[in-house]
Amino acid sequence: MDGNGRWARRTGLMRLRGHEAGVEAVRDTVEAAAEWGIEHLTLYAFSVENWQRPRLEVEGLMKFLANFLATEKAGLIKNRIRLQGLGRLEDLPAKVVDALADVQEATKEGDRMTLRLALSYGGRQEILDGVQKILADVQEGKLKAAHVDLSTIAASLYDPAMPDPDLIIRSAGEIRLSNFLLWQASYSEFHFTDVLWPDFRREQLLLALRDYHSRVRRFGKVLDRDPAVEKTS
């Protein structure tokens, strides 16, 4: 969800005001996704690299995050949306950890959509943490090294129940993965938009979904009927 800071600068506001403005984009996007039958949505809210930002900005973001969780809890319950945290959650301030745990418990029965907030998250760090879990199991004799395979690694990630993303959307003109879901995104489709995140609404989400549905996903295979070939022949 890129562009909060740039949006704030363009409007002559402090960077934190840009993050506040991005809340409406989050709310509209989440509600639209749930309405349209999307079962899983992950928002990259705070990366492990974001800890390197100025201390006052990070502190402001953490306070804002705790307030955001408290404010949005009722809406998530009403819309039957289950919230899950994803990342090195133990690195977050206690106030945020408590607020996240409260909302996760309150929304655990949500059966319409699972919303994951990637917090203190990094794709490389997730793989590293998973490998360390596997090594510990091998050392303790719970697992043989020769039996480690792709499914073993997938099961060691932060949320093994999370399916690989079909579509990754990048806002604000950024064209890179930025350490997001590196393991899971191996066959994801990408959609890039120049729209800054605070201006992102369901209209932009719909454009991304239409773009996604225009693609042919082969997963390395040769299709018996390839619509892309038929269209050009």
Q: What is the pLDDT of residues 40-60, one digit of tens each?
A: 999 999 999 999 999 998 999
**Per-residue confidence at 88, pLDDT binned at 50, 70, 90?**
very high
* Residue 2 annotated to the active site: yes
Residue 66 lies in a domain: yes
Residue scoring higher pLDDT (210 or 10):
210
**Beta carbons within 8 Å of 15's beta carbon, 6+ residues apart:** 4, 5, 8, 9, 57
Task: List pLDDT tens digits, range 23-37.
Answer: 999 999 999 999 999
Residue 230 lies in a domain: no
**Per-residue confidence at 231, pLDDT binned at 50, 70, 90?**
low
Residue 227 lies in a domain: no
> Does pLDDT of 221 surpass 80?
no
**75's tokens:** 């809406």
User: Which amino acid appears at position 177 of this protein?
Assistant: L
Residue 99 lies in a domain: yes
Domains: count for the chain? 1
> Does pLDDT of 173 surpass 80?
yes
Q: Which CATH number does the domain housing residue 110 bear? A: 3.40.1180.10
Residue 144 lies in a domain: no
Average pLDDT score over residue span 9-38: 89
pLDDT at 230: 56
User: For the chain, how many helices (H) and strands (E)?
Assistant: 8, 5
Residue 197 lies in a domain: yes
> Does pLDDT of 222 surpass 90?
no
Average pLDDT score over residue span 12-25: 83
pLDDT at 97: 98
Average pLDDT score over residue span 134-147: 97
Q: What is the mean pLDDT of the chain?
A: 93
Which structural domain, as residue segments, surrounds residue 11?
4-121+161-209
Distance CA 51, CA 30 (A): 26
Residue 222 lies in a domain: no
Residue 141 lies in a domain: no
Residue 217: is it exposed, middle or buried by C-beta count within 10 angstroms (0-12/13-18/19+)? Answer: exposed
Burial readout 3-28 (b: 16 or more C-beta within 10 A, e: otherwise): bbbbbbeeeeeebbbbbbbbbebbeb
Residue scoring higher pLDDT (82 or 232):
82
50, 67, 79, 179: the active-site residue: 50
